Amino acid sequence: MDDDLTALEITVNGKRRSATVDRRELLIEALRNRFGVTGPKIGCLTGDCGACTVRLDGLITKSCLRIAVAEDGAEIETLESMSTNGLTGLQESFWDNNAFQCGYCLSGMLFAAEDLLDHNPTPDEDEIRQAISGNLCRCTGYDAIVTAIKRYAERVAESDRRQ
Amino acid sequence: MEVGLRTAGKSVGRPVRKHDGDAYLTANATYTGDIVLPGTVYAALVRAPLAHALIRSVSTAAAEGATGVIAVVTGEDMIPWCDEIPHGLDAGHLGGHHSAVFPLAVEKVVYAGEPIAAVVATSEADAHAACLMVEVDYEPLPVLLDVESALAADAPILYPAWAENVLIEGHVGNDDFAEVARTAPHVLEGELRTHRGTAAPMEPRTYLADWDAGRQHLTLYASTQNPHVLRTVLAAAMRLREDQIHVVAPKVGGSFGLKMYGSREDFIAPVLARMVGRPVSWVEERAASLLPAAREQVLSYRVAFDDDGGLLALDVEALTDHGAAAPTHGWAMAYVGALSTGLGYAIEHCHVHYRVVVTNKAPWSGTKPFGKDGATLLLERIMERVAAATGVDAGTVRRRNFVAPSAFPYRHTSGLELDSGDYAAALDQTLEILSHERLRADQARLRAQGRYLGIGLGFELMPESADIPGGFVAAYDTSTVRMSPSGRVSVLTGVTSPGTGSDTGICQLVADELGVALDTVSVVQGDTDTCPYGFGNISSRSLVTGGNAAVLAARDVADKIRAAARALLRADYDEPVLIEDGIARLTRDPSRSVSVVEAARAVYTRSYELELDVEPHLESTRTYRPSNIREVPDALGRMQTYTTYPYAVHASVVEVDVETGVVTLLRHVATHDCGTVVNPLMVDGQVTGGVVMGLGAAFSEELVFDDDGIPLTTGFKTYLLPRAVDVPRVELGHLCTPAPGTPLGAKGVGEAGFAGALAAAFNAVNDAVAPLGARLDRTPLSPIAIMRALREARR
């Protein structure tokens, strides 16, 4: 119904975009259906699994817990923007350590890991587990993800020490 | 026992990373839900709010007039478009009962959440909104929610034509317990209850169906494990020819059995697409994807044993709470559980009577590790009880009963024939990693301080790569290896990978057989128009079946490269050629060589220079059919229906807070043997993932219903998957006894970890509370269950 439709303008991965969205639409739905951004996935729509995690105005958030029209004017980054200049060191570490199997949780896990390292560049294993505990993974049993984050952080710390 | 890799090549045996990992990392891995077709409309389902009721009437008028609605379809409306769903394994053909199931319920609902109508609309939101406007008049019927009520003499009959609430029952092994027990030094009996759980992959079942009315042709993108077989059953029920259907399985976001072919949900989008003439997208909501279930059983056992803990006889009465009947293989988990009971232990008299009981809950549906979990938990519980009764150490009891390496091939009473392994060595390695003796000393010290540490063992033996005679589950599969004129290699295979990594493994195998670099090889799977007919991923089979087939096909292609090299080098037809690092060299004079690329090009462009019996194409399709399967039953009705027998010994260390019932998982160790390891990175990933899923089943994942049979676990706030903080790092040990009689020596690994972890955790908690006289004989090991056991012990 036309009453349900409204204009939304947001910045997605550095590009100003606009679309007509349904007022009922969640941010994740708008990103996927209106803007063709499929990096974030839908796993639960209740904020439990974290597969839909994106960066919104610099902070990571579960995009299924936000109504699209409420985010008018927001700047959003998704998995699509992470490797603009080639894979990041963190991404390489995920790949090297087999930190994703089916890949469905990958986008959310990478954002959770990035966020952790932004705040704590040298996390221990418990801190890493805590940081990714808002995100569910059914394939890996988490160990490979923890290893990927830990090894990457250690490598960065090592190269910082050398400089 | 480290036997070493049978196939040690440039890439086989090495921790090669996922061959297409960059696609995932750059958001270029396409899942079904990422595909957009112009003009797509969206389906949503009206689901029964009652667990058992007659459908008196369905009124669709209001919904039909709602915003964006294109069609409202009831069960009756769909009948002309779709026959009853073909059974994966029809209990009615095996001495049980047949059930007729349609995509949407007709006349009667038998579980809450059963789909009774579908709405198709121009948006998902409109489709869901209109579902609420479909008015259904139900006449409630009495509800059966457990096996005891369903088997009671006065129980209402769920399927009146059957005259009982048992879908199927059967015996595995000889019923001779009483005879052995008469003279046995000890007999114990007990009951073990396992709870209802589910697969819960992160991606729910997702479909996009495109019906082309002009061509009378269906293209279906589906998050399925078995695209070819799905095509076969779709064609049968929709009265189409198989060549009118193209099934594509893009990237699949985990499956764990939920996405096996032939569920009613598989038919929703295809049939609706044909009815409305537009592409239809249907994505199962999370609450609905938590309906299909597994694991819920009541296992009553009697065991006879000697003074040393040697098992003499075992008798099991296995009642399965299946929920409603279904066309999928779900019930077969009860049968596989019976086949696997006692497997790996040398028990001469082992008998299981299994009964699959129907109740008003959603049906059992294939779930990792397919019924072997209950059998494992039962035996490992029994081992602990026998140890306690005899005073023999729990590890020693297992060692005394293990089938010895010298006994292979060893035929279990169920007919399954074990081929290789060293179970005691796995136990030794696990105890060593654990520092078992020191841990026991810690335990004693802590107990003196009022802290309750528990240590538990769990031996799992998983029959893998199943074969169902007459069914679309086969121990064989087919792969094509194709090399282009520029030396690029494509493997097209009938097996699929929902992220497990078998595709990467297949690339490694083929690269080594052809002596080429790994990055020249790619794998195509999950497409019925391009890949050979195959059975997809189930039963940990993809690498064993598709991988072995690819090895055979790659050897054919390598032979042609050798022939072309001989022709180009003007060598004799019997001159041996070695291919390595992309170069084909004469073995006797390595200075004479051509590149594989040159040789490949020559096959296509200089065919008249080749030996006459070499056909000028670079492609081979081969099927690997293992030699150890016996589909013809012996005099006792026993078959040998599994290809490989991987195993593991697990140990869990827990601390139980006896004031709150809260369990802290301190350590988990697993020593695993899947024969030849093609890729240790992927194998470790499979085992670790399985362990954590097993720990989830042990402690937190439970499908719960209210007294009327309405599911209370409708999302991840109530159905609690383990999170990263809930589990310790899994400590892995490895053994390698290659599968004999196979080109590769690899054993299935896809279901590894779950059952042994569940059993070890169960035994660990029991070990922790044993000094307080408490005992748990049911799962899950929730704080409430533990507090109840402790309270009962105090009484």
Q: What is the domain-level CATH number for residue A121? A: 1.10.150.120
**What pLDDT is recorded for position B2?**
33
Verify that A55 and A102 share a domain, yes or no.
Answer: no
Measured distance CA(B100)–CA(B94) in Å, rounded: 16
Angle formed at CA B668 by CA B664 and CA B673, multiple of 5 degrees: 160
Verify that A111 and A71 share a domain, yes or no.
Answer: no
Verify that A18 and A44 share a domain, yes or no.
Answer: yes
**pLDDT of B153 higher than 70:** yes
The pair of three-digit structure tokens given for residue B332, joined into one six-digit string: 């077969």
Count of residues for chain A? 163
Tell me the shortest Cα–Cα distance from B692 to chain A, in angstroms. Answer: 5
Kindly determine whether residue B684 and residue A98, on different chains, have CB atoms separated by under 8 Å: yes
Q: pLDDT tens, B38-78?
A: 999 999 999 999 999 999 999 999 999 999 999 999 999 99
Measured distance CA(B536)–CA(B463) in Å, rounded: 17
The pair of three-digit structure tokens given for residue B343, joined into one six-digit string: 């497997």
Q: What is the pTM of this model?
A: 0.97
- Sign of the C-alpha dihedral, residues A145, A149, A154, A155? positive
Partners of B671 in the beta sheet? B649, B733
**pLDDT of B181 higher than 90:** yes
Considering only CB atoms, which chain A residues are within 8 Å of B29? 103
Q: pLDDT tens, B260-316?
A: 999 999 999 999 999 999 999 999 999 999 999 999 999 999 999 999 999 999 999
| Distinct helix (H) and strand (E) counts, chain A | 6, 5
Verify that A98 and A77 share a domain, yes or no.
Answer: no
Kindly determine whether residue A41 and residue B253, on different chains, have CB atoms separated by under 8 Å: yes
ipTM above 0.90, yes or no: yes
Torsion, Cα of B678, B679, B685, B688 (10° steps): 60
**Closest residue in chain A to residue B685, using alpha carbons only:** A140
Tell me the shortest Cα–Cα distance from A138 to chain B, in angstroms. Answer: 6
**pLDDT of B126 higher than 60:** yes
Kindly determine whether residue B203 and residue A94, on different chains, have CB atoms separated by under 8 Å: no
Q: How confident is the model at residue B6 (pLDDT cuts 50, 70, 90)?
A: very low
Amino acid at position B315, single letter:
D
Rounded to an integer, the average pLDDT of B428-447 is 97
Verify that A55 and A20 share a domain, yes or no.
Answer: yes
The number of folded domains in chain A is 2
CA B657 to chain centre: 34
The pair of three-digit structure tokens given for residue B177, joined into one six-digit string: 């317990």
Contacts for B559 with CB less than 8 Å, ≥ 6 apart: none
Q: How confident is the model at residue B110 (pLDDT cuts 50, 70, 90)?
A: very high
Residue B357 to residues B59, B326, B331, B618: CA-CA distances in angstroms? 33, 12, 9, 53
Contacts for B421 with CB less than 8 Å, ≥ 6 apart: B344, B403, B405, B408, B461, B645, B647, B673, B737
* Exposure class string for B179-194: b at 16+ Cβ within 10 A, else e: ebbeebeebeeeebbb
Tell me the shortest Cα–Cα distance from A105 to chain B, in angstroms. Answer: 7
**What pLDDT is recorded for position B613?**
80
Tell me the shortest Cα–Cα distance from A26 to chain B, in angstroms. Answer: 10
What domains can you pick out in chain B, each with its CATH number? 32-141+201-289 (3.90.1170.50), 297-360+368-467+633-794 (3.30.365.10), 478-520+537-624 (3.30.365.10)
Other residues' Cβ atoms within 10 Å of the Cβ of residue B153 = 4
Q: How confident is the model at residue B10 (pLDDT cuts 50, 70, 90)?
A: confident
**What pLDDT is recorded for position B3?**
33
- Sign of the C-alpha dihedral, residues A132, A133, A138, A144? positive
Closest CA to B584 of B605, B608, B560, B606: B560
Verify that A121 and A139 share a domain, yes or no.
Answer: yes
Angle formed at CA B336 by CA B113 and CA B262, multiple of 5 degrees: 40
| Distinct helix (H) and strand (E) counts, chain B | 20, 30
Q: pLDDT tens, B681-695?
A: 999 999 999 999 999
The pair of three-digit structure tokens given for residue B546, joined into one six-digit string: 């598709």
Answer with the one of A52, A81, A110 that is the final residue of a domain.
A81
**pLDDT of B4 higher than 70:** no
* Average model confidence (pLDDT) across chain B: 96
Verify that A6 and A77 share a domain, yes or no.
Answer: yes
Verify that A49 and A77 share a domain, yes or no.
Answer: yes
**What pLDDT is recorded for position B609?**
86
Measured distance CA(B306)–CA(A39) in Å, rounded: 60
**What pLDDT is recorded for position B146?**
98
Verify that A61 and A95 share a domain, yes or no.
Answer: no
Answer with the one of A81, A98, A116 that is the final residue of a domain.
A81
Kindly determine whether residue A138 and residue B34, on different chains, have CB atoms separated by under 8 Å: no
Measured distance CA(A73)–CA(A82) in Å, rounded: 21
Verify that A16 and A64 share a domain, yes or no.
Answer: yes
Q: Is B795 exposed, middle or buried (0-12, 13-18, 19+ CB in 10 A)?
A: exposed
Q: Which of A102, A140, A142 lies at the smallest CB-CB distance from B203?
A: A102
Verify that A106 and A150 share a domain, yes or no.
Answer: yes
Considering only CB atoms, which chain A residues are within 8 Å of B286? 43-46
**Rg of chain B on CA atoms, in Å:** 28
Measured distance CA(B209)–CA(B88) in Å, rounded: 22
Q: Report chain B's terminal Cα–Cα distance, integer Å.
A: 48
- CATH number, domain at A29? 3.10.20.30
Q: pLDDT tens, B632-647?
A: 999 888 999 999 999 9
Measured distance CA(B205)–CA(B223) in Å, rounded: 6
Half-sphere exposure of B709 (CA within 13 A, CB side): 26
**What pLDDT is recorded for position B334?**
98
Q: Is B243 exposed, middle or buried (0-12, 13-18, 19+ CB in 10 A)?
A: exposed
**What pLDDT is recorded for position B264?**
98
Considering only CB atoms, which chain B residues are within 8 Å of A28? none
Verify that A117 and A52 share a domain, yes or no.
Answer: no
Q: Which of B25, B691, B730 lies at the smallest CB-CB distance from A94?
A: B25
Closest CA to B618 of B606, B600, B605: B600
Other residues' Cβ atoms within 10 Å of the Cβ of residue B752 = 31
Q: Assess contact for B257 and B367: CB atoms under 8 A.
A: yes
Answer with the one of A32, A47, A81 that is the final residue of a domain.
A81
Residue A96 structural domain:
89-162
Measured distance CA(B251)–CA(B259) in Å, rounded: 13
Tell me the shortest Cα–Cα distance from B67 to chain A, in angstroms. Answer: 6
Measured distance CA(B462)–CA(B466) in Å, rounded: 11
Is A59 an interface residue toward B (CB < 8 Å)? no
The pair of three-digit structure tokens given for residue B745, joined into one six-digit string: 């020596």
Other residues' Cβ atoms within 10 Å of the Cβ of residue A16 = 9
Amino acid at position A93, single letter:
S
Residue A120 to residues A54, A94, A114, A153, B376: CA-CA distances in angstroms? 19, 18, 10, 9, 43
Q: Assess contact for B146 and B359: CB atoms under 8 A.
A: yes
Measured distance CA(B370)–CA(B365) in Å, rounded: 9
Measured distance CA(B698)–CA(B656) in Å, rounded: 14
Helix, strand, or coil here: B452?
A: strand
Measured distance CA(B572)–CA(B581) in Å, rounded: 23
Is A1 an interface residue toward B (CB < 8 Å)? yes
Kindly determine whether residue B253 and residue A102, on different chains, have CB atoms separated by under 8 Å: yes
Kindly determine whether residue A44 and residue B716, on different chains, have CB atoms separated by under 8 Å: yes
Helix axes B227-238, B265-276, angle to 10 degrees: 50
Residues of chain A with pLDDT under 50: 1
Q: How confident is the model at residue B1 (pLDDT cuts 50, 70, 90)?
A: very low
Q: pLDDT tens, B595-610?
A: 999 999 999 999 888 8
Lowest mean pLDDT among A45-49, B138-142, B633-637, B767-771: B633-637
